[in-house]
Amino acid sequence: MDFSYTEEQLLIQKTAREFALDHLAPCVINRDEKAEFPAEQIKMMGELGFMGMMIPEKWGGAEIDTIGYCIALEEINAVDASAGVIMSVNNSLVCQLLYTYANDNQKEKYLKKLASGEWLGAFSLSEPQSGSDASNMLAVAKKDNDHYIINGTKNWVSSGISCDAVIVFVMTEKGIGHKGISAFIVEKGTPGFSHGKKENKLGIRGSDTCELYFEECKVSAENLIGEEGNGFKIALGTLDGGRIGIATQALGIARAALDRSIEYANERKQFGKTISSFGAIQDKIATMATNVDASRLLIHRAAKLKDEGKPYKKEAAMAKVFASQTAMQNATDCVQIFGGYGYMQEYGVERLMRDAKITQIYEGTSEIQQLIIARTLLGNK
């Protein structure tokens, strides 16, 4: 087992780190305060190949493996978790879904634009009454010759306002549970497709989150992804990969909290000494660093299994639940180490605490990750 990065991985890390410091860091506090979408930076990330990293060049991507993607994603999230979630959703949920399940015509029409960063994508599964119980959805699509008519409301859609196309999961047959769910790709501007207000969130405020409304929305049957009735398996299969992305987002936040804590603890003096000389601070830093490394190892194990085409559902869930817990704990400890300064916006560490929380919630709560791990181990659905 080799834990060192290859030349290519080191280059990806350097490129992502420099981009994040040069283009995301300067206004990140301002964007967070104003809840401003980093549109210009996301375009640049597309030009760098960061928006479709795991997609073959033939379909507009950068053709890099999942570990390479995680290395870049960690760097982006260590500086700006809002840009990080936009990158993660486009890569893990949208491009990866299309690459795995779409036909060549759909790949030609949509994947090329989404993987190259020309377009931005969103993924829409949840509804007001169905979050963790994702198959309990009400949105429907009724076949009408060579079209489907979609009706329903979806919510908590990341990039729902800024996206150019969304992958939406709806019922094509009611009364048969998850076997009645199908996946469609719907372009922005399609009549009957609109979005709600930008949600005012605790964290990742630079990313936009909204409800989506489908009212007699007519979509070509060519936009059905995979087979009718296969949508739930497409969603869950895709979310396994998505969870590696969100685990990596959590890792980026956790590492930023560690780095900021070390820097501050070595500068801040109390009782005539730097606070890094106190055992209470050393304990925190040691635990933070250990959990950052453990998170990265769990993430890279899941990524490697994915690249090898082996089952990785349990490993992705373990990575997400552990890394998101680490992000929350490290961010909280970082604010604690900064003391009163940590509570002030201008030091930029209270944002880490606010951004960390969502990693325990979206793409499957920590409780759902535990359920997935337990079910896999115990063999009982």
The two structure tokens encoding residue 11:
């280059």
Q: How far is the CB of 203 from ligand CAA (least distance, A)?
A: 13
Residue with Cβ nearer ligand CAA (10 or 374): 374
Give the Cα separation of 256 and 292 in Å (integer): 10
Residue with Cβ nearer ligand CAA (13 or 153): 153
Q: Is 81 in the site for ligand CAA (CB under 6 A)?
A: no
Residue with Cβ nearer ligand CAA (121 or 364): 364
Residue position matching structure tokens 């980026």: 252
Q: How far is the CB of 218 from ligand CAA (least distance, A)?
A: 25
Q: Is 363 in the site for ligand CAA (CB under 6 A)?
A: yes
Residue nearest to ligand CAA (CB): 364
Q: Is 211 in the site for ligand CAA (CB under 6 A)?
A: no
Scanning 19-27, 112-120, 292-300, 359-367 for contacts with ligand CAA by CB under 6 A, the matching segment is 359-367
Closest CA to 274 of 287, 291, 261: 261
Under rule CB under 6 A, which residues in 104-133 are in contact with ligand CAA?
123, 125-126, 132
Q: How far is the CB of 39 from ligand CAA (least distance, A)?
A: 18
Residues 60/112, Cβ–Cβ less than 8 Å:
yes
User: Using the rule CB under 6 A, which residue among 31, 178, 255, 314 binds ligand CAA?
Assistant: 178
Residue with Cβ nearer ligand CAA (92 or 261): 92
Residue with Cβ nearer ligand CAA (66 or 126): 126
**Residue 195's beta-bridge partner residues?**
212
Residue 363 half-sphere exposure toward CB, CA atoms < 13 A: 32
- Residue window 137-156: x/- pattern of binding to ligand CAA, with contact defined by CB under 6 A: -------------------x
Q: How far is the CB of 38 from ligand CAA (least distance, A)?
A: 16
Scanning 62-70, 289-297, 335-343, 362-370 for contacts with ligand CAA by CB under 6 A, the matching segment is 362-370
Give the Cα separation of 289 and 255 in Å (integer): 8
The two structure tokens encoding residue 375:
């079910």
Out of 108, 346, 363, 367, pick the active-site residue: 363
User: Using the rule CB under 6 A, which residue among 82, 91, 158, 359 binds ligand CAA?
Assistant: 158
Sorted by sequence, the CB contacts under 8 Å of residue 269 that are 6+ apart come out as: 275
Residues 78/318, Cβ–Cβ less than 8 Å:
no
Residue position matching structure tokens 């998505």: 242
Give the Cα separation of 287 and 292 in Å (integer): 9
What number of other Cβ atoms are within 10 A of residue 22's Cβ? Answer: 11
Per DSSP, the chain holds a count of helices (H) and strands (E) of: 13, 10
Q: How far is the CB of 266 from ligand CAA (least distance, A)?
A: 35
Under rule CB under 6 A, which residues in 215-254 are in contact with ligand CAA?
232-233, 236-237, 239-240
Q: Is 363 a catalytic residue?
A: yes
Closest CA to 260 of 352, 357, 359, 358: 352
Scanning 184-192, 329-337, 348-356, 364-372 for contacts with ligand CAA by CB under 6 A, the matching segment is 364-372
Element spanning 151, H or E: strand 147-158
Handedness of CA 34, 31, 354, 268 (dihedral sign): negative
Q: Just list the catalytic residues.
A: 363
| Residues that bind ligand CAA in the complex, under the rule CB under 6 A | 85, 89, 123, 125-126, 132, 134-135, 156, 158, 178, 232-233, 236-237, 239-240, 313, 362-364, 368, 372, 381
